[in-house]
Chains A and B, each alone.
Chain A
Amino acid sequence: MLRVTDLTVRYGDVLATDRADLTLERDETLALLGRSGSGKTTVLRAIAGLVPMVSGSITLDGADLGPIPAHERSIGLVFQDFALFPHLDVGANVAYGLRMQGAADVENRVEEVLAMVGLDGLQRRRIDQLSGGQAQRVALARTLAPRPRLLLLDEPLGSLDPDLRRTLAGELKVMLDRTGVPAIVVTHDTEEAFALGDRVTVLVDGRVATTGTPAQIWSEPGTVEVARIVGHSGIVTATVAGGIATVAGLATSVEAPDGAVTLLIRPGAATIGGPIPTTVISSRYRGPDWVTTVALGGGSIEVSSPEPKVTGNKVDIAIDPSGVALLS
């Protein structure tokens, strides 16, 4: 239903997004994942009509959004830090969009939306008396109240405590599914992107690096950059000869020409005990086990071990070839 094609936005001389393409289907939540400065917020702002495009097009249900000003787009945007109106109470914040539409029965809709986000009866509460989690819900309620065609969320949990983030991420997912409004969630947090997005689009330097389901992105990130953003650390260099990539004692078949390649060794693929000799770099306690980082192929990988290993000691490991992916 939403199609962003070839989107380019500039801030002065800085290229914020560079020919970015993305699509969003009905009933879908897309997570836009990237580091800060990768242009993900700019994509949202362009869709909302808050920044002018240099080139490209944005269509919603086939209609070109380009000439339509922000206030006529009916696209809901939840801001990072929420941008609640400090001079209005909770009820008036939620009612704002409804009043702009000239909607009848504003009070009932406000009540309904507040109930949906679990804040029944807080209409008269002042904004500066809300907790972080409540403010987040009010922001969501305010955006949902006028029934937007599309929901955009900019780091919706970014300003909250880590603890709260995990709880709210689950709740937010449920709410997004229940409202049935297609949504784009911008985040720099992989866990959040995977939790909220039906699909994930990864942005690197203003360009779309890859798009796929969370599982696809996690297991086949495709590039070193995306693998790092997703949080993988087992990135090593191997040598290919005749379709076989070798590094230390590991040999696995890859579809690549002869020469050097970069391999991703997924977490869990390596185990203690096996044919591959490595050197311990460090060991840290995780709770259920110890995570030992060992040097391999110009990089390092993590191995779970039942006891700490001494830095500098040798340790032999095995790597399951099905846990290895080719990166470019």
Chain B
Amino acid sequence: MTTRRASMLLALPAAVLGIAFFAWPMASIIATGIGADPGRVVDILGRGTTLSTVWFTLWQAAASTALTLLVGIPAAYAFARFRFPGRRLARIVVTIPFVLPTVVVAIAFLALMGPGGALGFDLAGTVWAILGAHVFFNLAVVIRTVGSLWSHLDPRLEEAAASLGATPWTVFRTITLPLLRPAIAAAAAIVFLFSFTSFGVVLLLGAPRLATIEVEIYRSAALVFDLPAAAILALIQVVGVTAGLLVYARYQERSGIGQHLLPAAATARRPVGRQRWLVGAAVGTALTIALVPIGMIMWRVLTAGGGLGLGSLRALGAVDPSVVDVPAAIGNSLRFAAVACALTVMVALPAAVVIASRRSPMGRWIDTLLMLPIGSSAVTLGFGFVVGLDAPVDLRAWWGLVPIAHTLIAMPFVVRSTVPVIRSIGPRVREAAAVLGAGPGRVWRTIDFPMLTPAAAGATALAFVISLGEFGATLFVARPGGKTMTLAIFGLFGRPGATNLSAAFALSLLLVVITGAVVALLERMRVPGVGNF
């Protein structure tokens, strides 16, 4: 479909963006870290806080992963194998947390289990709040990733095992679980990565005692101005993340080996008897986890200022603009998101076309390479911009850095959701068009383009949501006049006063509504992706 030259041309924007705004900043971080004098490096590595931060980052990520799998696997089963009323809506609902901005997730959990929270006990600053938020945020990854393989597993394999004398539990242990292993491993790797690099949630819920490497990078760089320490932490982070991604890529390759997969519709049935309880419990738990924190935000908005009402929406206008300029933040967020969408269309989608057309092992490596920005984490990226983009041209005060950072962070998601769609356009269809008399340009225009449009639209919508919710990189890169909604929420939350708090909840609700609408839209268009990677 694409000649060598055309594919180079298509990949060029992504390459330029990647080198200038990803590789160069990363190299600067490495230079800063290694450039520090060796004594300092040893000193930083040997510090108690560094060790305990790394240890905490690791174990909370492991615990978050285990808990998410525990809740997510039964729900994945229920969604994959059964038809029940409201299944589609329930799927949308459990997916929403995944696209919520981390700051909003943190605020929801503070409202739920923070000081004066709805649950009546204060878990803010403890690992429980962090674990809860991570399960909430990542549940969709497990439900989607594991569920999508599960829905295609041939149920006759399980029936065959039963007819050979295996009890239901043995069937699950010896047949279902091994067959699902690639999907479970991939989901676990992703959840682990997200929890390992968790920033907004830990910054707000873990303060003042608990910090992940990510939070520590921010504190070292932005609060203590110890750039070598931040750089060394960032390097530890990148190494850990790369290791995780390699594990993920390994399982990604292996998924579905030699399996006879069926269309999902052929495996879903109505639950009967005891199954009804199981499905009810699994879906109910997932829905509760997804809905209660979101409900908390709504509740706080509705009950702000005493009685029931929309008082806190008025609070948005009442915030002192010299503290946080709320209208400007909304405007900035929308503007940055629009630019990020435009960049996605111009840069990420052409790159996806190139990646999809390359079926060699190289393609897989590029694929993994593109996953790096999520892994190397938003804070590291933002930090890299700050230390790296002062020369040859000092770009650090340029507003364009924010949408560029957002585009890079959205890139893996965009590529992941579009590449399978592009690959699914079989060569036969193109050949058929060619035989019917369509030239290469016509084939692209009449076959590829219309088939790709929904996926491209979905990917762009995804970039929009990711840009709106981005926090870690924006915190570093945004200029004083260019604060976004997530930064405004963070700023409002850190300040005393009922008006500020109400406004923080109102802004959060606004983000929930926008992201929820986009998820519903994506689900409606049946765009693969979101949690499907």
Interface residues of B in 433-468 (CB under 8 A from A): none
| Residues of B contacting A49 in the complex (Cβ-Cβ under 8 angstroms) | 162-163
Best-surrounded residue of A48, A52, A77, A83 (most CB of chain B within 10 A): A83
Question: Cα distance A101–B259 when bound, in Å?
Answer: 26
Q: How far is the CB of B177 from chain A (nearest CB, A)?
A: 10
With contact pairs A12-B270, A71-B166, A79-B156 given, residues A85 and B161 touching in the complex (Cβ less than 8 Å): yes
Residues of B within 8 A of A52 (CB): 272
Contact A96 B161 (CB under 8 A): yes
Q: CB distance A76 to B163 under 8 Å?
A: yes
Given contacts A52-B272, A83-B154, A128-B258, contact A70 B160 (CB under 8 A): no
In the complex, A12 Cα to B159 Cα: how many Å? 20
Cβ-neighbour of B163 out of A12, A77, A101 (below 8 A): A77
Q: Looking at the assembled complex, report how far the CB atom of B427 sits from the nearest CB atom of chain A, in whole angstroms.
A: 24
Hey, which chain A residues are within 8 Å of B272, CB to CB? 52
Residues of A within 8 Å of B156, CB to CB, are: 79, 81, 83
> Is A70 a contact partner of B162 (Cβ separation < 8 A)?
yes
With A79-B156, A83-B154, A87-B178: A70-B257 Cβ-Cβ less than 8 Å: no
Interface size on B, residues (CB 8 A): 25
| Pairwise interchain contact B164-A73, C-beta atoms closer than 8 A | no
Interface residue ranges of B167-184 to A (CB < 8 Å)? 167-168, 170-171, 174-175, 178-179
Given that A12-B270, A81-B156 are contacting pairs, would A86 and B166 also be in contact in the complex, using a CB cutoff of 8 Å? no
Any chain A CB within 8 A of the CB of B428? no
Q: Are A85 and B157 in contact (CB under 8 A)?
A: yes
Q: Does A34 sit within 8 A of B, measured CB to CB? A: no
Contact between B165 and A71, CB atoms less than 8 A apart? yes
A contact residues around B164 at 8 Å (CB): 71, 76, 96-97, 100, 142-143, 146
> Given the known A-B contacts A126-B258, A127-B258, are A85 and B163 also in contact in the complex, defined by CB atoms under 8 Å?
no
Interface presence of A72 (CB below 8 A): yes
A87 to B165 CA separation, bound complex (whole angstroms): 18
The yes or no answer to A74 lying at the interface (CB within 8 A) is yes
**B162, B167, B175: which has the most chain A beta carbons within 10 Å?**
B162
Asked if A48 and B163 make an inter-chain contact with CB atoms under 8 angstroms apart, the answer reads yes
A310 / chain B contacts, CB cutoff of 8 Å: none
Interface string of A99-127 (1 = CB under 8 A from B): 01100000000000000000000000011
B160 in contact with A83 (CB, 8 Å): yes
Residues of A within 8 A of B161 (CB): 85, 96
In the assembled complex, the Cα of A71 lies from the Cα of B162 at a distance in Å of 5
Residue of A nearest to B156 (CB): A83
Count chain A residues whose beta carbon lies closer than 8 angstroms to a beta carbon of B: 30
Bound complex: CA of A136 vs CA of B161, how far in Å? 16
Bound complex: CA A72 to CA B154 (Å): 22
Task: Write the nearest CB–CB distance from A287 to chain B, whole angstroms.
Answer: 36
Cα A50 to Cα B157 with chains together (Å) = 12
Please tell me if B524 contacts chain A, counting CB pairs below 8 Å. Answer: no
The answer, yes or no, to whether A75 is at the interface (CB within 8 Å) is yes
Chain A residues 60 to 100 lying within 8 A of chain B, measured CB to CB, are 69-77, 79, 81, 83, 85-87, 96-97, 100
Contact status A79-B178, CB under 8 Å: no
Q: Which residues of B (235-266) have their CB < 8 Å from a CB of A?
A: 257-260
Taken residue by residue from 405 to 443, chain B's Cβ proximity to chain A (1 for < 8 Å, 0 otherwise) reads as 000000000000000000000000000000000000000
Q: Is the CB of A83 within 8 A of B258?
A: no
Within 8 Å by CB of A74, from B160, B165, B168, B179, lies B165
Q: B260 touches which one: A50, A69, A81, A142 (CB < 8 A)?
A: A81
Q: Give Cα distance in the complex from A96 to B171, angstroms.
A: 11
Which residues of the partner chain A approach B175 to less than 8 Å between Cβ atoms? 85
Complex CA gap A12/B178 in Å reads: 31
Neighbouring A residues of B163 by C-beta, 8 Å? 48-50, 70-71, 73, 75-77, 143
Q: Nearest chain-A residue to B160 (Cβ)?
A: A83
- Against A, the Cβ 8 Å flags (1 = close, 0 = not) of B167-207 are 11011001100110000000000000000000000000000
The residues of A that contact B179 with a CB separation of less than 8 Å are: 86-87
Among B166, B178, B270, contact of A100 (Cβ-Cβ < 8 Å): B166
Provide the bound-state CA to CA distance between A101 and B170, in Å: 12
Cα(A100)–Cα(B169), bound, Å: 12
- List, in ascending order, chain B residues with CB within 8 A of A73's CB: 163
Interface residues of A in 1-19 (CB under 8 A from B): 12
Interface centre among B157, B168, B178, B257 (most CB of A within 10 A): B157
Which of A86, A126, A127 has the most B CB atoms < 10 Å from its CB? A86
Using CB atoms, name the residue of chain A closest to B159: A50
Residues in A neighbouring B170, C-beta threshold 8 A: 100
Please, what's the 1-or-0 string for B205-218, where 1 marks a CB less than 8 Å from any CB in chain A?
00000000000000
- Which partner residue on chain B sits nearest A78 by CB separation? B160
C-alpha gap A96/B159 in the complex (Å)? 13
Residue of B nearest to A127 (CB): B258
Q: List, in ascending order, chain B residues with CB within 8 A of A12's CB.
A: 270
Contacts of B259 in A (CB 8 A): 86
Counting chain A CB atoms within 10 Å of each CB, the highest count among B156, B157, B164, B270 belongs to: B164
A230 to B178, CA, bound (A): 44
A128 proximity list for chain B (CB < 8 A): 257-258
Q: Which of B132-178 contact A (CB under 8 A)?
A: 154, 156-157, 159-168, 170-171, 174-175, 178
Question: Whole-angstrom distance from the CB of A98 to the nearest CB of chain B?
Answer: 9
Would you give the 0/1 interface string for B394-409, flagging 1 where the beta carbon is closer than 8 Å to chain A? 0000000000000000
Is B165 within 8 A of A100, CB to CB? yes
Across the interface, do A97 and B165 meet the contact criterion of CB distance under 8 Å?
yes
Complex alpha-carbon distance, A128 and B167, angstroms: 26
Residues of A within 8 A of B157 (CB): 83, 85-86
Asked if B165 contacts A83 (CB within 8 A), the reply is no
CA distance A142 to B165 in the complex (A): 12
**A residues less than 8 Å from B257 (CB atoms):** 86, 128
Bound form: Cα–Cα A238–B219 in Å: 98
Query: How distant is the Cα of A45 from the Cα of B154 in the complex, in angstroms?
Result: 15
In angstroms, how far is the closest chain B Cβ from the Cβ of A50?
Answer: 5
- A72 to B170 CA separation, bound complex (whole angstroms): 13
Minimum CB distance partner of B163 in chain A: A77
Of all chain B residues, the one with the shortest Cβ separation from A76 is B163
Residue among A77, A101, A146 making CB contact with B160, cutoff 8 Å: A77
CB pair A70–B159 under 8 Å, yes or no, is yes
Contact with B along A243-282 (1 / 0, CB 8 A): 0000000000000000000000000000000000000000
* Subset of 9 A-B contacts with CB under 8 Å: A48-B159, A49-B162, A75-B163, A81-B154, A83-B156, A83-B160, A85-B157, A96-B164, A143-B164
15 additional A-B residue pairs with CB within 8 Å, beyond A48-B163, A83-B154: A12-B270, A50-B159, A50-B163, A70-B159, A71-B163, A71-B168, A77-B163, A79-B159, A79-B160, A83-B160, A85-B161, A86-B259, A96-B174, A100-B164, A127-B258
- B residues with CB within 8 A of A: 154, 156-157, 159-168, 170-171, 174-175, 178-179, 257-260, 270, 272
In order of increasing CB-CB distance, the 7 nearest A-B pairs are: A128-B258, A100-B165, A97-B164, A83-B156, A83-B160, A77-B163, A70-B162
